[in-house]
Amino acid sequence: MTIYRKIYKVATVGSRAEGNLRPTWADDMPTIMPGVSFVVHEYDETEGWCICECWVSDHPIRGIPRNMSDLEVLESHESVIEVLTQHPLSPAVLGILSLSGGHSPESVDLKKKTLGFKGKTMSFKRVEKNRRTDGQEEDLYILDEG
């Protein structure tokens, strides 16, 4: 299972003054390609572009598993100005998929690093401790990251 990433220079709409500066595709992404997540690293409001790093995953925890070929399809979207190979603000880890412990996994095999969730068997990379907003500490199964 892999997280796939791609960096795009994308045209923007809105403005900071109005509180709604965003990539042109932001509000339409659920219809353009549901299952894509992104972080915006940089805006140039004067020239009307932003640097938008999209990511997808083929992990079964995703509603719609996707891979690099989907991100390549996005390259031809009308709002994409350029595809970049890197950006100084692109973090080492952009996206993390996880599942809380407690009642969520139906089964956990720590030796095989697999768990059962909603009838599916899924692999996980490691277990972390996380504190919920009620103060309870939970096991957090990191399914995928990158």
Partner 1 sequence: MSINIDKKKLRKELDFRELCKAYPLRFHITGATTVTYDGEYLIITSASATYDCIGTGFGSPSYEATRSTYYLSVMARIKAPGNDTSIYFFFLEPRKGVYADFQGFRHDGTYHCFEFRNGDAEEQDNIADQDWTTEHIFRIVHYKDQSLCQGYIDGALVAECTDNTKISAQPFSVYTIEPNGVARTVYLKYPPGIHEYSYS
Contact footprint for partner 1 (CB under 8 A)? 15-23, 26-27, 29-30, 33-41, 43, 50, 61-64, 89-91, 93-100, 102-104, 117, 130-135, 138, 140
Smallest gap from Cβ 85 to partner 1, in A, equals 17
Structure tokens that stand for 138 in this block: 């939970």
Closest distance of CB 36 from partner 1, Å: 6
Which amino acid type is present at position 65? P
Q: Which is nearer to partner 1, 109 or 128 (CB)?
A: 128
User: What's the gap between Cα 107 and its chain centre?
Assistant: 25
Token pair 């972390």 in the structure block, residue: 128
Question: In terms of CB distance, is 40 or 83 closer to partner 1?
Answer: 40
Ramachandran class of 118: left when φ > 0, alpha when ψ lies in -120 to 50, beta otherwise: left
Q: How far is the CB of 106 from partner 1 (least distance, A)?
A: 12
Classify burial at 48, counting beta carbons within 10 Å of its beta carbon; exposed 0-12, middle 13-18, buried 19 or more.
middle
CB of 94 to partner 1, least distance (A): 6
When the beta carbons of 111 and 129 are compared against partner 1, the nearer one is: 129
- Closest CB to partner 1 among residues 94, 108: 94
- Spatial distance between the Cα atoms of 129 and 132, rounded to a whole number of angstroms: 10
